């Protein structure tokens, strides 16, 4: 079975590369308005559709105690009305024109994603320009959406055993940096946000100079730029937001988190401090995550699930972030298993990597997965818009999108062993165990 699965990965990687070979840096037309808004335009007539993505340089990384989770809250409120477009009207107008939308918030950015027919381009640019400057924060809607966020936290964190363990481990491993809290924020902050403070936050971060607008698809770049200048040009510039200056201090010893909670099975999570996306060690660890954790042929899946029968699944890896975050190994144990034995096996496998590295076959598998995932993401106008925006915000220049595969290819197999030895140390590690109430190990 594994041999048969190998060839489709190779085929898809080559097939994806051929489909996206025509997408070049020169296809991206770059403009900057007087108010600081950066605009990226890509003309692509393969389908009669347009992707309009707006990225803001704001996420949970920019919050402070008392206002945790507010970036995610504003993401919700951006669909709840301005003086020009009432609550729910944004969605109604867009859907009437045959479009759809979504949004997301992460540690480092907030993104608003629109897909629609070309005929709706002007209407969508007008509405997006309106909500970058005119969010209403109507008190009744403010309180209603606060309740939605609180319910989301109860359901997605407090009533989810894996999520509550992850939150406790993150907050223990990261002491000083704003990555200390999750994107959803703390419940006490959610329940105490004040409208005036949220409005100040919105005006600070939702400004043209703190945003990038990407339009990809069936467009005329000159006409599109004209529409952007018409509707975004009058938006006033704002001072640059304050920088995030806190640096997480080095960890000085292993930490252990024990969560006791009603559950049918235990949970196990181990994390190590990891480098930021721009760090030279990021790519070697991103490559290592594939043979270590991804798929049934990965080392930890074979040991923990197939051979030892201690778990039903294994996952994790390293996240692409502006500042250093964590490399995680997330195990779904079987009921009643010894969590310390899971930890010992993980350490055994990491010790092998630190001593011997990974095999050429594992390296080839990792690179095939990385290439395939990357090129598959660029086959759609939405994928192109999303990759351009996130690359611009994470690295400060969208052009890295067109060199990143070369950067991966330049990582020699020995670099992976060196990086593993540097980061997978006891002093850099935090272990989390969720133990079901009732006495399971």
Q: What pLDDT shows up at residue 6?
A: 35
Q: Could you tell me the fold of the domain covering 25-232?
A: Cytochrome Bc1 Complex; Chain A, domain 1 (3.30.830)
End-to-end Cα, the chain, rounded Å: 35
pLDDT digits (tens, 9 = 90+) for 195-241: 999 999 999 999 999 999 999 999 999 999 999 999 999 999 999 99
Q: In the predicted model, is pLDDT for residue 426 greater than 90?
A: yes
Q: In the predicted model, is pLDDT for residue 14 greater than 50?
A: no
pTM > 0.85: yes
Domain boundaries for CATH 3.30.830.10 within the chain: 25-232, 255-436
Instruction: Tell me which CATH homologous superfamily contains domain 255-436.
Output: Metalloenzyme, LuxS/M16 peptidase-like (3.30.830.10)
pLDDT digits (tens, 9 = 90+) for 162-184: 999 999 999 999 999 999 999 99
């Amino acid at each position: 079975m594994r041999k048969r699965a190998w060839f489709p990965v190779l085929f898809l990687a080559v097939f994806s590369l051929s489909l996206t070979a025509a997408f070049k840096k020169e296809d991206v037309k770059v403009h900057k308005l007087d108010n600081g808004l950066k605009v990226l335009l890509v003309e692509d007539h393969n389908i009669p559709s347009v992707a309009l993505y707006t990225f803001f340089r704001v996420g949970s990384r920019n919050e402070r105690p008392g206002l945790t989770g507010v970036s995610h809250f504003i993401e919700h409120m951006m669909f709840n009305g301005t003086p020009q477009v009432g609550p729910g009207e944004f969605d109604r107008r867009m859907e009437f024109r045959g479009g759809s939308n979504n949004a997301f918030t992460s540690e480092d950015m907030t993104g608003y994603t629109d897909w629609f027919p070309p005929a709706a381009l002007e209407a969508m640019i007008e509405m997006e320009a309106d909500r970058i400057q005119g969010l209403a924060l109507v008190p009744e809607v403010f309180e209603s959406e606060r309740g939605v966020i609180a319910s989301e936290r109860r359901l997605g964190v407090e009533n989810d055993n894996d999520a509550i363990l992850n939150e406790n481990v993150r907050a223990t491993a990261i002491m000083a940096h704003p990555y200390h809290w999750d994107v959803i924020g703390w419940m006490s902050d959610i329940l105490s946000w004040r409208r005036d403070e949220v409005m100040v936050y919105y005006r600070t971060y939702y400004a043209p100079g703190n945003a990038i607008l990407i339009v990809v698809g069936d467009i005329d770049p000159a006409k599109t730029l004209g529409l952007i200048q018409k509707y975004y040009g009058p938006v006033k510039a704002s001072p640059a937001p304050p920088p995030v200056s806190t640096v997480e201090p080095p960890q000085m010893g292993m930490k252990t988190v024990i969560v006791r909670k009603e559950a049918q099975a235990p949970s196990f999570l181990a994390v190590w401090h990891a480098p930021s996306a721009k760090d030279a060690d990021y790519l070697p660890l991103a490559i290592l995550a594939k043979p270590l954790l991804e798929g049934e042929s990965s080392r930890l899946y074979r040991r923990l699930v197939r051979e030892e029968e201690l778990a039903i699944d294994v996952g994790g890896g390293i996240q692409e972030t502006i500042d250093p975050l964590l490399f995680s190994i997330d195990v779904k144990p079987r009921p009643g298993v010894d969590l310390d034995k899971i930890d010992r096996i993980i350490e055994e496998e990491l010790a092998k990597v630190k001593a011997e590295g990974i095999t050429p076959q594992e390296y080839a598998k990792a690179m095939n997965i990385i290439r395939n995932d990357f090129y598959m993401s660029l086959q759609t106008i939405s994928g192109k818009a999303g990759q351009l925006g996130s690359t611009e915000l994470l690295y400060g220049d969208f052009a890295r999108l067109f060199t990143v595969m070369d950067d991966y290819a330049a990582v020699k197999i020995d670099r992976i062993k060196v990086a593993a030895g540097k980061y997978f140390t006891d002093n850099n590690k935090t272990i989390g165990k969720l133990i079901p109430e009732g006495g399971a190990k």
